[in-house]
Structure 1
Amino acid sequence: MTDSNPSILSHISIGTNQFEQALAFYDRVLPTLGCKRVLAHPGAVAYGREYPEFWVQTPLDGRPANVGNGSHIGFVAPSRAAVHDFFQAALAAGATDEGQPGPREEYGAPYYGCFVRDLDGHKIEATFWDTEQGHEH
């Protein structure tokens, strides 16, 4: 069996306490990376390029959603320009700046990305791996 998907994850879900506002945020930000809504249920919407990879939902247990300290979600960007588009769209949609677009040598020469916090405080990232820069091991 051959798998053409290089990802090790099936999907990620985040909780929100402001469902409609969170959807408006991700509806504006994720198209910069070629993603769109691909599935919806009451209280949950999935985004992806082809299948549901990133879910935004109200917690199933009915308790308030909270943010994990030390965790973040990194989205794959198709180019450096897409990293910038993601960053600008996120800020325009109400995100806070957690790291402007650019290289981060501590992550290796191919890395180019940015970080923001969404409306619920989740840290999200857009990353382009510039294979022209080579890989450090």
Structure 2
Amino acid sequence: MIEHRNLRSICHASIGTNNLNRAKAFYQPVLITLDIELVCDYEHAIAFGKGYPEFWVQKPFDQQTASPGNGVHFGFVATSIAQVDKFFTTAISLGAKDNGKPGPRPEYGEPYYGCFVIDLDGNKIEASYWNPEKN
């Protein structure tokens, strides 16, 4: 049993892709910048996490074309400003679109530092660091 599972509110999240190999080539180097590793690799899906499959990228179960949802994004925890910056530069170098460069956003709270990108399938992802020194 995964002991920390009882501390979670959400078991996992999934996004669709139309090209699993391309998605893996994108997400594996991007998420490792946050110490998030590939933990499952199947013909139809891959999953990333810190010892547990928390973030899935998969071909849609209904065999239809994957599409992103407007208003939906996935935020990943960074443990430093440097991780946020590396996440952003790695994602951009692999073809992601800039949707908000790394930096503070006081409208989200004084401790917030983050960035936003759009992945190769049009999904919105974020990395953010909550600086406890600014609380």
Same fold (TM over 0.5): yes
Unaligned runs of 5+ in 2: none
Question: 1:3–1:51: structure 2 CA closer, same or farther, 3 Å change rule?
Answer: closer
Question: 1:108–1:92: structure 2 CA closer, same or farther, 3 Å change rule?
Answer: same
Q: TM-score, normalised by structure 2?
A: 0.94
Deviations 1:8-64 (A, max 9, x none): 211110000111101100011000000111112221011011100100100011000
3-state SS, counterpart of residue 14 of structure 2:
strand
Deviations 1:48-98 (A, max 9, x none): 111001001000110000110011000000100000000000000100000
Match of 2:126 in 1: 125
- In the TM superposition, residue 5 of structure 1 has moved relative to its aligned partner by 6.7
Give runs of aligned pairs for residues 9-20 of structure 1, distance below 5 A. 9-20=10-21
- In the TM superposition, residue 3 of structure 1 has moved relative to its aligned partner by 5.4
Q: TM-score, normalised by structure 1?
A: 0.92
Match of 1:109 in 2: 110
Match of 1:45 in 2: 46
3-state SS, counterpart of residue 23 of structure 1:
helix
Unaligned runs of 5+ in 1: none
Cα-Cα RMSD: 1.5
Letter in 1 for 2:130: W
Question: 1:21–1:3: structure 2 CA closer, same or farther, 3 Å change rule?
Answer: closer
- Work out whether 1:91 is the aligned partner of 2:92: yes
* Percent of matched pairs sharing the same residue: 53
Higher mean C-alpha displacement, 41-50 vs 51-60: 41-50
Partner Cα separation in structure 2 for residue 95 and residue 50 of structure 1? 26
3-state SS, counterpart of residue 62 of structure 2:
coil
3-state SS, counterpart of residue 69 of structure 1:
coil
Question: 1:61–1:128: structure 2 CA closer, same or farther, 3 Å change rule?
Answer: same
